[in-house]
Amino acid sequence: MSEPVARLLIELEDITPRIWRRVDVPAAITLATLHEVIQAVMRWEYAHLYEFRAGERLYGDPLPGMESTSRRMHKAKGVRLNQLIDRGVDRLLYVYDLGDDWRHRVTVENVRDGLADTDYPLFVEGARRAPPEDVGGVPGFEGFLDAVRDRRHPQHAELLEWAGGVFDPEDIERREIDLDLALLAEFRRRVRTGHRSRSKKQND
C-alpha cells in the first residue's frame, strides 16, 4: 500500500556555500523520527539536544528538571508532521546542539502518494558536507575549513587529525546516508507490520 510522502528541503542556515539535503519522508512520521532523519542526512552524531520550532511552539525531548514556564517544550514524539501540515505549517526550524546552534530550515516542498514498493524515508539529493560535531558553531567551522584547506596553516595537522584524518567539504557521504535511512525505513516497516499483525489477531 502507498502512503502520503512529504518531500523536504533541509538547509543549514548562515553558511555559504549552501549545505542542503532533499529527502522524502512519510508524512505521518513524528517529529522525533524526523529528528533522526535529519541526523542521518546531515551526518550528525546524536550527541546533543535538539528542538523544532513551528511558529511559537517548541518540540523536542524535555528533560526532567529543565522545564521552563516561559519556554514550554512539547514532546517531539507526540506530534506528527502531517498534523502540522494540516494546520498550514510548511516550514520548520530545526536547531541541533544548542551551544553550536546549528539551525536548519526545513521546508515542505510537496506532499504526494508514495510508491507502493518503496520504503521511506528516502534520500533524494544534497550538496556539501555538514560541519563536524563540536567545531564551535559557524565561526568555528569557518576557521576549521581555513585550517584544513591550507597545509601551511599552523593548525592544519592538528585539526585534520581531530576530524578523523580527512575532511572533504564536497563529500556528503551519500553511501552512509543511504544506509542510515534504509535502517530507519526497515525499522519503521517492521513496526508497521507488527501493528497490523496485532490488529489482525485482535479482530480474528
- For the stretch 121-136, pLDDT in tens is 999 999 999 999 999 9
Quick one: pLDDT at residue 23? 98
At residue 1, the 3 state secondary structure works out as coil
Contact assessment for residue 38 and residue 10, using Cβ atoms and an 8 Å cutoff: yes
Asked if 149 and 71 sit in the same domain, the reply is no
The SS3 assignment for 202 reads helix
* pLDDT over 70, % of the chain: 90
Q: What nine digits make up the cell of 179? A: 544506509
Spatial distance between the Cα atoms of 167 and 164, rounded to a whole number of angstroms: 8
- Asked if pLDDT for residue 34 goes beyond 60, the answer is yes
- Residues 156, 92, single domain; the answer is no
pLDDT (tens digit per residue) in 38-78: 999 999 999 999 999 998 899 999 776 655 555 789 999 99
User: pLDDT band for position 95 (50/70/90)?
Assistant: very high
**Is residue 33 located within the same domain as residue 82?**
yes
Q: Cα–chain-centroid distance for residue 61?
A: 15
Same structural domain for residues 9 and 56? yes
Question: 33 and 65 share a domain?
Answer: yes
Q: What is the pLDDT, as a whole number, of residue 201?
A: 58
3-class SS of residue 14: coil
Question: Tens digits of per-residue pLDDT, 163-185?
Answer: 999 999 999 999 999 999 999 99
- Domain limits at 156? 131-171
Count of domains observed in the chain: 2
Mean pLDDT of 3-23: 97
Do 28 and 108 fall within a single domain? Answer: yes
**Cβ-contact 60, 50 below 8 angstroms:** yes
Same domain, 112 and 199: yes
Rounded Cα–Cα distance for residues 96 and 103 (Å): 7
Q: What is the mean pLDDT of the chain?
A: 92
